[in-house]
Amino acid sequence: MNKVVLNCMLILGILISSNFVIAQESNFDPFKLKAEYFNDKGVKDKMVFSDKKGNSFKIKKSDFSNGVYIKQGEKWLKHGVWLSTYEGRITEKIVYSFGKKHGVRESYYENGKVQFEDQFVKGVQQGISFQYRADGTKVYECPYVIGKKEGVKIEYERNGSISFKKNYKNGKLQGEYLQYNNDGKLVARTYYELGKQVGKTEWY
């Protein structure tokens, strides 16, 4: 048995013994990695291994960032779940596909609750984004299309009532801009066109 094959077997053995979940009957899937895998002492920074399809992977493990690279040509690209950490706690989780954000990005408060939640498709923000307070109440929800705000952004008070409804088109305010009081009653209406206010605000 040559040295290269032996080294590969040793690396795979370490990963398997470290609960890194490389099943014998399936291919390694970086999208299923969990935070606790990187806490295992058997998982080392810059460790390189391959799956059954011949893909080459490299581990990134540090005090601030944990994840897996996949090799494409001469480049190593982020692939699967990546975690940003600070003082042992996770501050951000991003899913990558061949170097591009693809899936959910979440950032967290110190108490572990989600602060921001965004969706990406092939590196471009797409879908509804959310912001939350540290107590879990929603701050806003905002739709994105091809990286720009598109549709109605809704902002909320801590009690769950709506405070603003803002219409966007191609990333700019367009149409009605509505403001509500704490009881959910409409108190002001403004119109926008291509991001600029049209006329005066109507107060109720």
What's the mean pLDDT in 22-37? Answer: 62
How many structural domains are present in the chain?
2
Asked if 38 contacts 20 with a C-beta cutoff of 8 angstroms, the reply is no
- pTM score, whole prediction: 0.80
> Domain check: are 122 and 73 in the same one?
yes
Both tokens assigned to 96: 């990558």
> Domain check: are 95 and 163 in the same one?
no
Q: Which domain holds residue 169?
A: 149-203
- Confirm whether 183 is domain-assigned: yes
pLDDT for position 48: 86
pLDDT for position 4: 40
- Confirm whether 47 is domain-assigned: no
Q: CA–CA separation, 47 vs 59, rounded Å? A: 5
Q: CA–CA separation, 63 vs 87, rounded Å? A: 8
| Domain edge (last residue) among 136, 157, 189 | 136
Confidence of residue 8 (pLDDT cuts 50, 70, 90): very low
pLDDT tens string 74-123? 999 999 999 999 998 999 999 999 999 999 999 999 999 999 999 999 99
> Domain check: are 159 and 199 in the same one?
yes
3-state SS record for the chain: CCHHHHHHHHHHHHHHHCCCCCCCCCCCCHHHCCHHHHHCCCCCCCCEEECCCCCEEEEEECCCEEEEEEEECCEEEECEEEEEEECCEEEEEEEEECCEEEEEEEEECCCCCEEEEEEEECCEECEEEEEECCCCCEEEEEEEECCEECEEEEEECCCCCEEEEEEEECCEEEEEEEEECCCCCEEEEEEEECCEEEEEEEEC
